[in-house]
Amino acid sequence: MHGRNILVSLTTIAIFLIICIYINSQRELLVYISNISPYRLIILVFLIMLFQMVNGLILKDIAHLFDIRLSAREWLGLPFVTSLWNYITPFSGGMAARASYLKYRHDFAYARFISVLAATYVLFFGIACITGVSILLISNIGDDYFLHLFLFFISILVAVIFVALIPLGRLRGNNRYIEAFNHALEGWDMIRNDYMLLARLALYSLASIVVNGVTFWMALTTLSDRVFSFSGVFLISILSCFTLLVRITPGNFGISEGVVGLCSGMIGIGTGIGLMTALLIRAVSLIPIVLLGVVFSIVFTKELSAHANITKTD
């Protein structure tokens, strides 16, 4: 574990140095920073907070399915806490923090949390693929990349449909790992068989994709006064969502920037401006995530302590 953390730290430092070297070799990129206005930054902060709120609504709806009534403070605050700990720790440490809170505060089993996480990811990527294909069909993406992107979205969509529809049988035995696996499958079946819940989650997923796309558009137009294709920018934001599958560095630093820069160059917006856009979104995201993440972390820690004392007394 210690060796793995060292490797992740070295990887993060290496990525940071590579980004710095690239920006230094492209000094004209620094001109973009002078175009940033406080008014635009406020809008970006609002959009990022709105994105987190949509994630909170997803958590609230799923928790309700398992008879857990999250307070407004919880479903609003947990996404910020999760994001904060994702920045502090590698490999989605924020999800572990969220799972621990739900376990000790609401007795929500880890196995069911995993099933919930899987269900939300499967649905989110399915909606992202459908949106991506729709954008491709109405955009003016060049023929050189249209087929590659189309096949990318379709292949993931087919995989998502397969995972969502494949029947999963229960394992036999009393082993705790087998029981945990069966517990997770029960949670998975509860989610995918509740069609009204799936419809709401699909709308929430679409809303988060749209907010993410508008955030990219706002950040890009904040840095440059060039005229960009909205469909192209929106497509880049969708492609950036798939970096959620590769959470290695803290906050996925370097991974999402690399994908955004690569896709921006591929679509014709420009690798440099794409990289600066991703870095601007990350920098602005830290404002609400750090401030609200710290506040809610303190609040939830106190609540967990109080809950633990009450449990001991009982």
The predicted-structure confidence for 243-252, as pLDDT tens digits, reads as follows 877 766 666 6
Torsion angle of alpha carbons 224, 226, 232, 237, nearest 10°? 10
Q: What is the pLDDT of residue 301?
A: 86
The residue among 214 and 164 whose pLDDT is bigger is: 214
Poorest-pLDDT segment among 137-141, 238-242, 260-264: 137-141
Angle, vertex CA 134, rays to CA 164 and CA 275, nearest 5: 95
Predicted model pTM? 0.83
In tens, the pLDDT along 113-168 reads: 877 887 888 889 899 999 999 988 887 665 667 888 889 999 999 988 887 777 76
From CA 307, how far away is CA 302, in angstroms rounded? 9
Q: Is the pLDDT reported for residue 59 higher than 80?
A: yes
Residue 219 and residue 280 in contact, taking contact as beta carbons nearer than 8 Å: yes
In this prediction, residues 276-283 reach a mean pLDDT of 86
pLDDT value of position 8 = 47
pLDDT tens-place string over residues 10-40 = 555 555 565 566 555 555 555 666 667 788 8
- Rounded CA gap, 93 and 101, in Å? 13
> What percent of the chain stands above pLDDT 90?
22
8 Å CB contact between 254 and 12 = yes
Mean pLDDT for all residues in the chain: 80
**Inter-CA distances, 115 with 50, 81, 122, 171, Å:** 25, 20, 10, 16
Buried b or exposed e, range 79-115, using 16+ CB within 10 angstroms: bbbbbbbbbebbebbbbbbbbebbeebeebbebbbbb
Could you tell me what percent of the chain has a pLDDT over 70? Answer: 75
Q: Which residue has the higher pLDDT, 161 or 181?
A: 161
159-to-104, 122, 123, 135 alpha-carbon distances in Å: 34, 9, 11, 20
